[in-house]
Structure 1
Amino acid sequence: LCQVVEKAIEAGATTINIPDTVGFAVPDQMRRVITTLRERVPNIDRAVISVHCHDDLGLAVANSLAAVEAGAGQVECTINGIGERAGNCSLEEVVMAMRVRGDHYGCTHNIVTERLVPTSRMLTSITGMQIQRNKAIVGRNAFAHEAGIHQDGMLKERSTYEIMRPEDVGFAKTDLVLGKHSGRAALADRAKQLGYRLTGEQLQVVFEEFKKLADKKKSVYDGDIRALIDGQLRGSNSPVWSLTSFRVTSETDAPPQVRLTLRQGDHEVTEEVQDGDGPIDAAFLATERATGMSLPCREFVVRAATLGHDAQGEVTVVVEHQGHLVRGHGVSTDTVEATILAILDAVNRIAEAATNGAE
C-alpha cells in the first residue's frame, strides 16, 4: 500500500483515499494504517490523506475520527450518514466531535454548524428517509431531558448535561407559534429564521397555503411551516394533475371508499370512485383510475410534521412506472388527502420527465 501511494503521488495525485468500503475496520486498525502511511511514504506531505468509512458495524464515525487523530486531513461523509447499506460516516457527528473536542483532535474545519439541522431536515424532506429520534446531533431527542435529575441539573447549570447548545447545530431557540391572524411579513420573518430564502413569488404561494392551514388548525408551528415550504420547493414546476375535491366513506361493515375529482390542466376530470382494503388503498386505486396510470406502490411513509392530534401528516410514496421508481410527497391535516397529493406529485414528476424527454 505504501508503494502504491508513493507512486500515485509521484504521478500527481494530491488526495489519497483510504476507504473502508464494507465497514469492516475498527478504529485501532484505521489509526495504524494512516500512521504507517505518514511514516513510510516519503512524499506523503505532498498529498492529503482522505478516509471513506462505511457504517456496517456502526463504527464509521469512530474510524474516521481515529484516522484524523493519526493525521488524515479529509473525511468523506454524508448528511444524516445516508449511504449504501448501513450508510456512511455522519457529517454532523464528525463535525461536532471536532468542534466540541477540539482540545483532543487539534484540528479545525470551516463548516457552519448552525446549518446542520436545517440541512438534515432538507435532505429528509427530499429523500423521505426519516431521522431516528435519538440520532446524535440532529435527532428530535438529541437535546431532550426527561429524567428529573437531568432536568434539575439543567436548570441549575446547563453545562452539566449539555456539552453543546441546541442553537449551535441549528435548532431554533423557540418554536414560534403563528395563527390565522399572522401576516405575510410574520411568515417571511419566521421562514428566514428557519433558514429559507424565498423569492417574492415563492413566499406568496406559501402564504396562501399557510392561510388555508391556519383556518384548519389553531396553531401553526415551525414543523408546519417547514412542511409547507418544503412541499412547495420540492413540487413539480408545472403540475399537470391537481386535486379538486375528495370524499372518504368508511363504515364498519363495508369496504372504505374514496370519491375524488381531479383536474388535468384546465380540464375537469370525471369523478372516480373506488373501494379498497383501506382508505389509503382506495385512494391509490381511485387516483390510478383517474390518471390512467398503473402505479404500483413500492414504499409508503407517513409521519407527523408536529406534535398534537391536529398535526399535519407528511406522506412520502415511491411508485413504479415503466421500470423506474418515482418519489412523491404530500402534506395535509388529512392523511388520505396527503396520500392523494403525494401520488399526484409522483404523477406530475412522471409527466414532467416525459415532456422533457420529448423535447
Structure 2
Amino acid sequence: MSQQPTIIDDVQESDGSARVSSTNSRRVYIFDTTLRDGEQSPGVSLNLSEKIQIARQLALLGVDIIEAGFPIASTGDFEAVRGIAREVRGVAVAGLARANFKDIDRAWEALKEAEQPRIHTFLATSPIHMRYKLQMEPDKVLEMAVEAVKYAKKFTSDVEFSAEDGSRSDLDFLSRVVEAVIKAGATTVNIPDTVGYAMPQEYGNFIRSLMERVPNIDQAVVSVHCHNDLGLAVANSLAAVQNGVRQVEGAINGIGERAGNAAIEEIVMALRTRKDFIGLNTNINTEEIYRTSKLVSKLTGMIVQANKAIVGKNAFAHESGIHQDGVLKERSTYEIMNPAMIGINQDNLVLGKHSGRHAFRKRLGDLGYELSEAELNKAFVRFKDLADKKKNITDRDLEAIVEEETRSHVPVKYIMEYFNITSGSTIKPMAMVGLLSNDLLLQDTAFGDGPVDAIYKAIDKIAGINCTLLHYSLDAITGGRDAQGDVTVKISNEKGKSFIGRGVSTDILEASAKAYVDAVNKLVYEADRREE
C-alpha cells in the first residue's frame, strides 16, 4: 500500500499524530485535469506519447496532482494513466473512477506503479442527478459513496471523493455525505460546479456553509472543480478559495467539456498578482506557464484565442499610443504582470545566418530549452535553413523550431519529399506530390478547389486513405512578410477518430503539406496497430 503524498500542512495532535488542516494552510494545491476532463473537449484525441509529454511538462510546471485519465473508460485511457504513473515522478498521479468496485480496481491497476497514486472516485449528490441519472434515493447514494471510499482506501491512503453536481446539491444532504466520506478515509473532498451554474458570491457562501456544518472537515483538503458554462469558472474557483478551499482543479488554457474548465494559468496568476488581497500562494513555477500553454495548444489542436487572459497573443500587446507611451515610461502603468513571470521572453532579434552552434545552443538555454546532442543537431540544421530564408530570427522562431523538432512523434511512414503546384485564377489548381516511404519515392497528382486542397487530395491518393479534414488553421509566428506560417490540421478516419498534425515553414503551402503528412502518419499508425 502506498503512502499518502504530503501536499498539505499538518497540525500535530497531542498524541503526536498528524491531522490534515486545509483552511489553516496558506497554500493552494493545483489539481490539473488537462489529460482527463481537458481531453474530453470535442475533437481532442491525444496518443500515449503526447499525453506523457504533456504530463512531464505539467510536472515541470509544478502542479501538485495530475489527473491522467479515466482508466475504465477505454484501453487508451488505461494505458495513458499507467504510462504516466510509470514514467512521471515528483507529482501525484490520479485516476478517475465511478463509485463502484470495478472502476476502482481498474484505476488501481493503472496507478499502482505511480510514485504518489491517488484514486479519485465520484458520485452525484444533487436532487436532479439522483432522481433522473442515478434513480437512487439519497440514503443509497450516501451508502455507495462511503463504500467506494472504503474500498479505494484498501489500495492507497490518498483517496479523493467528488460530489458530482455538488453546487446544486441540498446543503444538509451534502454535509452528511462529506462527513461520512471523510470518516471513511477520504483525504480530499471535491465540491464541483459541474454544469457551471453557480455565481461567485453564491458559491463562496455555499462552500463556507458546508465547511461550517461538517464537524470533521479539518481532516481533509476541500477542493473545487468549476466549469465555465457562464464564463465564471475562475471567478467561482477564487471565491471558493477565499472561503477556505485549498485545492483547485482545472485545465491548461481552460480546455474541457462544453465551455471548458477553470483555466489553471488564470487562477495561479490571480493568486500571485493579488497576493496582497487573497494572501495565498501555489507551488507553480510560473515561468513554465507559457511553454505549457503552447504545448497543450499544439498537441490538442485547440488554438488559444488572441485575447485570452495570461497566455493569449495579445495579453501583453499594446497598440494604443497612450498605452505604449505609459509602458515605455513605467511598465506598471498598463501591465499588472511582467511577461517574464510566465516565461515570455520579449527579446526580438537574437540570431542570424552567420550565428554558430555555440550561440544557438546558448540562446536556446536562455529560453529554457535543454536539448540532447541529436536534437540540437536537427534543430541547428532547421535554424540555418530558416536563416537563409528569413533575415531576422526571433525567439518565437527558435521556439517553433525546437517544438517541431522535439515534439513527440509516432513512427513516420511518409516523409514529404516535394510538391509542385499549378494554380491561378483561370485554371483548376493541380498538385503533384512526392512522399518517401521506406526510401521509396511515391508520387501522384490531384486537382482541388485550391492549392492546399489539391495537395491534400494527392497525399490521400498516395497513402490510400479516405479521411475528412475537420479543421485547418494558419497562424503567423511573427510579424512581417517573411514570417513563418504555423499550420494545424485535424483529420478523422472512417470511424470518426481524429488526428492532429502540425507544420511550420516560411512557405504556407509547405507548412500546410507538412501538417497534413504529420496527421496522416498518426492515422496510418493507428490503423496499422489495430491490424496487429
Pick which of 231-240 and 44-53 moved more: 231-240
TM-score, scaled relative to structure 2: 0.65
Deviations 1:133-161 (A, max 9, x none): 22111122222222233233223332222
Match of 2:480 among 305, 308, 311: 308
Matches within 5 A, 1:208-357: 208-234=381-407, 236-269=409-442, 271-323=443-495, 324-357=497-530
Pick which of 20-29 and 180-189 moved more: 180-189
What is aligned with 2:336? 163
What is aligned with 2:371? 198
Structure number with higher relative contact order (C-alpha < 8 Å, ≥ 6 residues apart): 2
- Which stretches in structure 1 are left out of the alignment for 5+ residues? none
Check the 8 A contact 1:51/1:72 in 2, yes or no.
yes
Distance 2:346 2:454 in 1: 42
Secondary structure of the residue aligned to 2:415 is strand
* Gap change, CA 1:161 and 1:105, over 3 Å in 2: same
1:177: Cα distance to partner?
Answer: 2.9
Check the 8 A contact 1:115/1:170 in 2, yes or no.
yes
* Gap change, CA 1:75 and 1:235, over 3 Å in 2: closer
Check the 8 A contact 2:475/2:486 in 1, yes or no.
yes
Identity %: 50
1:195: Cα distance to partner?
Answer: 2.6
RMSD after superposition = 1.6
1:99: Cα distance to partner?
Answer: 0.9
Question: One-letter code of the match for 1:353?
Answer: E
TM-score, scaled relative to structure 1: 0.95
Match of 1:49 among 222, 226, 233: 222
1:191: Cα distance to partner?
Answer: 2.1
Secondary structure of the residue aligned to 2:429 is strand
Check the 8 A contact 2:301/2:490 in 1, yes or no.
no
1:235: Cα distance to partner?
Answer: 5.3
1:72: Cα distance to partner?
Answer: 0.3
Secondary structure of the residue aligned to 2:282 is coil
Check the 8 A contact 1:128/1:301 in 2, yes or no.
no
Secondary structure of the residue aligned to 1:351 is helix
Distance 2:326 2:502 in 1: 41
1:273: Cα distance to partner?
Answer: 1.5
What is aligned with 2:96? none
Pick which of 8-17 and 299-308 moved more: 299-308
Distance 2:507 2:330 in 1: 43
Q: Which runs of 4+ in 1 moved over 4 A?
A: 354-359
1:186: Cα distance to partner?
Answer: 2.0
1:10: Cα distance to partner?
Answer: 0.5
Q: Does 1:30 align with 2:200?
A: no
- Which stretches in structure 2 are left out of the alignment for 5+ residues? 1-173
What is aligned with 1:177? 350
Distance 1:150 1:245 in 2: 47
Deviations 1:275-296 (A, max 9, x none): 1110111011111111111122
